[in-house]
Structure 1
Amino acid sequence: MTESTQHGQAQHGRPWVPWLVTALVVLMSGGMMYLAHRGTSRAEALAEQSRQSAMDAATRARDAETARLQLEQKLAALEAERTQLATEKEQLSQTVQEQEAELAKLKATYDDLQDKMKAEIADGAIRLSQVEGRIQVDLVDKVLFDSGDASISARGQEVLTRLGSVLAKVEDKSIQVSGHTDDSPPSQKLQSIFPSNWELSVARAVNVVRFLQDTGGVPARRLVAAGYGQMRPVSTNATPLGRARNRRIEVLLMPDLPSKRTPAAAVQRAIAGGAATKAQAKPARGAK
């Protein structure tokens, strides 16, 4: 048998070989395509995962920055609050120190007045009191004036000289001197000079103020004169003892507010000064 004959017989004997080759080629191509698609999908999944991770990281970074800014704001607020509290504490401490110093000065003035006026305080002619940063000295009229008179008596001058020696050393108080009477009107003899208790009380207050300024050395800018007549009694007018208590001069030491002086105070001093001029121009003595 020839070689060509043998080859022809071999081909006729294996007709499935071409199909097998084709199938193998197709399978290999499909496998390669599948592997390529799978690789592409995996790459896309990894890329998407990377993008999502990047977005998450960016979000976390923004959140962290926001948290950092909020923390800085809170720290700044806490620091501002701490500074404010420290300032308030310092101011409070300073205020307490000033108040303690003020109380110490007030007590020194009170003790000085008590020492200088101890004889009059003992016999009830002068009452000394201290309330809420104020000192008040009440002098019954007979200590300073003769009955029905606005001129200061010899005894009154001696008492006011001692009082002025204390008041002249007071540097941070306004000193209001106010005159008060009982409800009995001035006698007919005196009504030409003092038509009512208003004029009498004002004249007495102004004369005390002028004496404290001229003789006692109390600065005029600290002095205020006022007259209340019978309008502010401290006792009943139904008894001689009550009327005697109502006829008085009050000297009130009050915290000084130089930046808030009111026009009313200036007007009051001017009116009081006019009344004093009239009273001194026509001194009168008589029964009240």
Structure 2
Amino acid sequence: MKHSWYFLLAAGAFLTGCVSTSTFEEKSAELAACESRAKNELAACNAARSETETRLTAANQELDVYRKIAEANKQKLEAVQKQENVLRERMQQELADKSVEIEQLRGQLTVRMLDKIVFRSGSANILPEGMAVLDKLVEVIADSSDIIRVEGHTDDTPISDKLKTKYPSNWELSAARASAVARYIETRHHINPKRLESLGFSEYHPVAPNDTPENKLRNRRVEIVLRPAPEAEAAPAFHAARHLRAWWIAGCLAIAGFVAGPAVAADDTSLDDSARKVGNNFGEMLKGMGQELKKAGGSLSESGKKDDKKEKQSPENAPDKDKDDAR
């Protein structure tokens, strides 16, 4: 009887050993698979982190470019304001008797001179009074790099029969007057002709309806528009927004990977620290970029609002009915 009990105990021990060995092998295989997944995910996280850091470096570089552009635009606006102040100071008499008007709109300065001080009726020969005004103007802008666009404008009065042989219409008269002013600026003050533009607009860009003698007088004018010299265009703003969105998505994926990695490989504490470090750095970087972009666009946005308000109040933006009546 004793021998039977010994036999049963030995058989049980043998079977228990077999089950334990099988369970151990299964657990070992599971552990190896987890370790392999953890290594793969760690490699992916490291790659994502490296790419995100590269994108953040590029973002900082692009942000520096936009910051410089904003600063340059701010300096240009300040220069335009300074020009306007100097011109107003030197042309106090002309501004007082309303023979000259000065206007700043969208970073461009416009000096509007009525034809009564620049030309005789039906003539494109500059009067001495007009030369004096032009001399004051050119003294202020001679050292700048601004493009000087001279525009000739008339009222809607048709050319008289005796002048039609020389000026068949107001197109020719307005163009001749603009050309005369541009030529005077070039020859008298030795301004680089590449900075000069001459345009005739005839009667089709009035600043007031041609319904009274006073309004007709305002429409017979020469305008000198000062605009910044063209520069190489910067990347459009929407590119920055698109890149910022891509960086955000990439960063979120990277951070998600860093957080998921330690959950699989819990014994790798350095990965958890990296996740927090990169996540914090990425968040601070995005916050800083947002503040810088807002700061860079703030002054330009405020200037644009002021210019829009001026443009709405400008006589040239009167309702179409008034323009049609003027024609």
TM score, norm. by length of structure 1: 0.74
Aligned partner of 1:201 among 139, 161, 174: 174
State yes or no: 1:163 paired with 2:128.
no
Structure 1 unaligned spans of 5+: 1-23, 261-288
Is 1:109–1:170's contact at 8 Å kept on the other side of the alignment?
Answer: no
- Report the 3-state secondary structure (helix = DSSP H, G, I; strand = E; otherwise coil) of the residue aligned with 2:189: coil
Deviation at 1:153, TM superposition (A): 1.5
Partner of 1:232: 205
Is 1:113–1:166's contact at 8 Å kept on the other side of the alignment?
Answer: yes
Deviation at 1:59, TM superposition (A): 2.2
In 1: Cα distance, 2:79 partner to 2:136 partner: 19
Partner of 1:93: 67
Deviation at 1:43, TM superposition (A): 2.8
Aligned partner of 1:61 among 26, 35, 39: 35
How many residues align? The count is 233
Identity %: 29
Aligned partner of 1:121 among 95, 109, 112: 95
In 1: Cα distance, 2:231 partner to 2:17 partner: 87
Partner of 1:20: none
The C-alpha deviation readout for 1:21-74, integer Å capped at 9, x for no partner, is xxx7xx63x556545533432332222122112112112212322442343245
Structure 2 unaligned spans of 5+: 234-327
Correspondence 1:249-288 to 2 at 5 A: 249-257=222-230
Higher relative contact order (CA 8 A, sep 6+): 2
Partner of 2:295: none
Partner of 1:213: 186
In 2: Cα distance, 1:53 partner to 1:259 partner: 66
Deviation at 1:258, TM superposition (A): 5.6
State yes or no: 1:177 paired with 2:150.
yes
- Letter of the 1:217 counterpart: H
Partner of 1:283: none
Aligned partner of 1:107 among 42, 65, 81: 81
In 2: Cα distance, 1:40 partner to 1:105 partner: 97
In 1: Cα distance, 2:208 partner to 2:96 partner: 20
Deviation at 1:252, TM superposition (A): 0.8
| Structure ranking higher in helix proportion | 2
State yes or no: 1:130 paired with 2:104.
yes
Tell me whether 146-155 or 205-214 shows the greater mean CA deviation. 146-155
- Letter of the 1:119 counterpart: Q
In 2: Cα distance, 1:207 partner to 1:232 partner: 20
Is 1:181–1:247's contact at 8 Å kept on the other side of the alignment?
Answer: yes
- Letter of the 1:100 counterpart: K
- Report the 3-state secondary structure (helix = DSSP H, G, I; strand = E; otherwise coil) of the residue aligned with 2:161: coil
Residue 82 and residue 259 in structure 1: after superposition, are their counterparts in 2 closer, same or farther (change >3 A)? closer
Is 1:179–1:229's contact at 8 Å kept on the other side of the alignment?
Answer: yes
Deviation at 1:99, TM superposition (A): 1.8
The C-alpha deviation readout for 1:76-133, integer Å capped at 9, x for no partner, is 3542453344234323322221122112211222122222322211211100011110
Residue 126 and residue 143 in structure 1: after superposition, are their counterparts in 2 closer, same or farther (change >3 A)? same
Partner of 1:38: 12
In 1: Cα distance, 2:105 partner to 2:165 partner: 39
Deviation at 1:152, TM superposition (A): 1.0
Deviation at 1:255, TM superposition (A): 2.8
In 2: Cα distance, 1:98 partner to 1:149 partner: 42
